[in-house]
Amino acid sequence: MNSTPAPNLQTKAKEQPVLLDNQAPANPTLFIVLNAGSGGKNTALVKSNLAKLFRDANQPYELLICRRPHDLPTFTTQAVDQARRCNSVVVASGGDGTIRFVAQEVLAAGLPFGVIPLGTFNYFARDNGIPQDAIASAEALIAGMRAGCERAVQVGQLNDQIFLVNASLGLYPQLLEDREKFKQQHGRSRIMARWAGLLTLLKRESKMLLRIEYAGGHQENGADVVPASTIFVGNNPLQLSDVGLATEAERVQQGQLAIITLPPMGALARVAVALRSMLGQLGDAPNVSHFSCRQLIVEPLSRHQRQFVKVAMDGEGAKMRPPLVFSVGPRPLRLIVSPEAGVEV
């Protein structure tokens, strides 16, 4: 993600600002960073439909299409810089990973943020009442921006990075990596994603010895040394409710993070836990620990994990130097929502 694209190639993916009727815009320009690889959508069709919608709504916009992974950092910075200069709005169009990446820079700039979802699961958009259809979500975005409807959305933080839906270490990041390879071969859909996950659970295993310290929850602050295969930190009430963790979903809405830890276990036990999760019964699974807190510090004790640990944030993998500090972000994201979705301050 940190590589620099060739200077003469990125301009092919960048759309010029659209100013309607050759006049100064009556409404702030939307600076849209669109990931062409998200969700298997037809980028040309999405672009065409958005152009018609914005033209009919007299809405100026600039579309920056990321056709390769290393376009995303460059175009995100460009969109944020332009939006800051004219006090406007940055919009992320893609899956949860794209939305997280763009939101990181938007949050740092203190700008309002919009979302046009194009991903497979779209947990962030769904949890905030944003329509799953690209055109419907763009209509909601325009209506919310013009009505001044912003929702303060809690973000999670892992060291110096934010996450909106979840962050994890252990087996789950490996599952996401395998799932992405599987989707490239067999297509992008929720069914394919879940099938790929089950295959990973059958053939992969993870064993870690971790020192964890937690604070700011309903339970007393504490520290433990635990064997684990996965630690999953949730920040999305909808996802937590879907897997059967209603109490943790409610605690996230109260300003905490949900923590789920799985011990090392055999392949069949891992699959059984996954099936319980799909059926919304994870809270009843044996050997699965779950609680909530505002901060969790994780430090691997094995020698080979003391330098770097593989983690995942909102479906995207990365490597980080421990200790890993999961916490509630110090300030919320200014998310634009439609008037019908309601506003939370």
pLDDT at 275 over 70: yes
More confident of the two residues 130 and 40: 130
Distance CA 229, CA 207 (A): 5
Identify which of 318, 16, 335, 285 has the alpha carbon closest to the alpha carbon of residue 159: 318
Provide the pLDDT confidence category of residue 181 given band limits of 50, 70 and 90: low
Distance CA 113, CA 102 (A): 9
Give the position of tokens 């056709």: 67
Top-tier CATH class for 10-154+332-341: alpha beta
Whether the Cβ atoms of residue 243 and residue 277 lie closer than 8 Å to each other: yes
- Taking the domains of the chain in order of start, what are their residue ranges? 10-154+332-341, 161-328
Residues 6+ apart with CB under 8 A from 196: 175, 178, 179, 182, 183, 186
Distance CA 16, CA 79 (A): 12
Distance CA 182, CA 335 (A): 32
Average pLDDT across the chain, whole number: 85
pLDDT at 319 over 70: yes
Identify which of 334, 287, 285 has the alpha carbon closest to the alpha carbon of residue 103: 334
pLDDT at 23: 37
Provide the pLDDT confidence category of residue 14 given band limits of 50, 70 and 90: very low
Distance CA 63, CA 33 (A): 6
Provide the pLDDT confidence category of residue 200 given band limits of 50, 70 and 90: low
Confirm or reject CATH 2.60.200.40 for domain 161-328, answering yes or no.
yes
Give the position of tokens 């815009």: 25
- pLDDT for 41-66, tens place per residue? 688 999 999 999 999 999 999 999 99
The mean pLDDT value for 202-206 works out to 62
CA 77 to chain centre: 18
Contacts 24+ apart (CB under 8 A), 218-221: 218/251, 218/291, 218/292, 219/291, 219/293
Share above pLDDT 90 across residues of the chain, in percent, rounded to a whole number: 63
pTM: 0.84
The mean pLDDT value for 199-213 works out to 74
